[in-house]
């Protein structure tokens, strides 16, 4: 496994594995025994970056979420994992439904200062940790002043109950405005960004695309340009394997990928996969890890076998020629 550092402040920065494990369906769709086995194998392979959210997975059983965090908490206790063991757990708040729901809803808690404090405390209790290593603003909240959100997160860092701050599914201009507000006030700001990002390019005429699991934020050209200009920021790429669409005929691509460049890029991808002897999924993950704007792929797994394929990608080195072939396909 390889590693990289996220964050700048020595008091909060973390060294994490270049491959992150998504725990979204742990404790619901993926049963406890299987979830524990996946977590065990990930850590055994050197993985140190686990991702969850306070609303995972409300849509499965019609709850408000919290099942994933609770399972990770039980796993930590059963394995004797301590805060000092180097395992970074990231969670999110702001998109938890205000009442039990079985599908996509806009009636969510939001990002007021009161919600941030209360939701963070609930997450710490479910995870069984003294400090949240990385806490994201899950989605934008148009009903709360951005300054209140920035100050609300900063208060938790000052209290010592949160380390790094991040944002997911925000417009690039909102990120810049929030970071400017924090910098002007001498407060900690967002340092880790989590967006949908993969080798194939999705439509970018909307901030989100509709996928089987709801609306997801896309790392579009504006965001990638922003990251080039701000290299100290880290990008975590979720849904990088498009739910299996790169390798499974029974998993058709989302309509957002119906564009002129898809066929050309798929051809380049399969060419490189053949050259390397790797799967298309592994090439996608390796491409993300070593890209001009490097990303930490966030992978899900419903079995240890699925995880093994992703773990192997962390060691796959693409040649300059292979990377150029992938990058130049339009």
The predicted-structure confidence for 91-116, as pLDDT tens digits, reads as follows 999 999 999 999 888 899 999 999 99
42 touches 20 (CB < 8 A): no
Helix, strand and coil content of the chain, in percent to the nearest 5, comes to 40, 20, 40
Give the pTM.
0.95
Residue 247 pLDDT > 60, yes or no?
A: yes
Please report how many Cα atoms fall inside a 13 Å half-sphere around the Cα of residue 282, on the Cβ side: 22
User: How confident is the model at residue 213, as a pLDDT?
Assistant: 40
- Note the pLDDT tens digit of each residue in 284-306: 999 999 999 999 999 999 999 99
pLDDT confidence bin for 238, thresholds 50/70/90: very high
Domain residues of the chain, as ranges?
Answer: 3-259+281-319
Question: Which residue is associated with the tokens 């806490």?
Answer: 135
Taking only the tens place, the pLDDT of each residue in 64-75 is: 999 999 999 999
Predicted confidence at residue 207, as pLDDT, reads 47
Least confident of 147-156, 208-217, 250-259: 208-217
What DSSP designation does 108 have? B
- Position 203 pLDDT exceeds 80: no
CA angle 123, 307, 283 (to 5 degrees): 115
* Helix extents (H) in the chain: 32-44, 58-61, 67-79, 113-127, 146-159, 172-184, 221-229, 262-276, 280-289, 304-313, 320-327
pLDDT digits (tens, 9 = 90+) for 10-53: 999 999 999 999 999 999 999 999 999 999 999 999 999 999 99
The CATH T-level fold of domain 3-259+281-319 is: TIM Barrel (3.20.20)
Q: Of 218, 221, 168, 223, which Cα lies nearest the Cα of 190?
A: 168
Residue 75 three-state SS:
helix
The predicted structure's pLDDT at residue 255: 83
Write phi, then psi, for 164 (nearest 5 degrees): -80, 155
């Amino acid at each position: 496994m390889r590693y990289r550092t996220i964050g700048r402040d020595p008091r909060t920065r973390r060294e994490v594995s270049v491959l992150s494990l998504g725990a979204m369906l742990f404790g619901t769709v993926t049963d406890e025994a299987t979830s524990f086995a996946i977590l065990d194998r990930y850590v055994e392979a050197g993985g140190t970056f686990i991702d969850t959210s306070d609303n995972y997975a409300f849509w499965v059983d019609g709850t408000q979420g919290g099942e994933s965090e609770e399972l990770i908490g039980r796993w930590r206790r059963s394995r004797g994992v301590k805060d000092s063991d180097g395992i970074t757990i990231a969670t999110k708040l702001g998109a938890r439904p205000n009442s039990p729901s079985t599908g996509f809803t806009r009636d969510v808690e939001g990002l007021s200062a009161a919600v941030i404090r209360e939701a963070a405390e609930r997450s710490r209790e479910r995870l069984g940790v003294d400090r949240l290593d990385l806490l994201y603003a899950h989605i934008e909240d148009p009903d709360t002043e951005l300054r209140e959100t920035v100050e609300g997160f900063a208060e938790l860092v000052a209290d010592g109950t949160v380390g790094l701050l991040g944002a997911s599914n925000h417009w690039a201009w909102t990120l810049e405005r929030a970071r400017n507000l924090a910098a002007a006030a001498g407060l900690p700001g967002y340092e880790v960004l989590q967006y949908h990002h993969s080798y194939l390019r999705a439509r970018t005429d909307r901030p989100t695309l509709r996928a089987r699991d709801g609306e997801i934020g896309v790392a579009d050209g504006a965001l990638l340009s922003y990251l080039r200009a701000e290299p100290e920021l880290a990008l975590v790429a979720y849904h990088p394997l498009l739910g299996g669409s790169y390798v499974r005929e029974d998993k058709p691509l989302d309509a957002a990928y119906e564009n002129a460049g898809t066929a050309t890029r798929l051809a380049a991808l399969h060419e490189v996969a053949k050259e390397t002897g790797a799967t298309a999924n592994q090439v996608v993950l390796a491409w993300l890890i070593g890209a001009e704007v490097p990303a930490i792929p966030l992978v899900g797994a419903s079995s240890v076998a699925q995880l093994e394929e992703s773990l192997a990608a962390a060691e796959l080195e693409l040649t300059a020629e292979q990377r150029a072939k992938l990058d130049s396909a339009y």
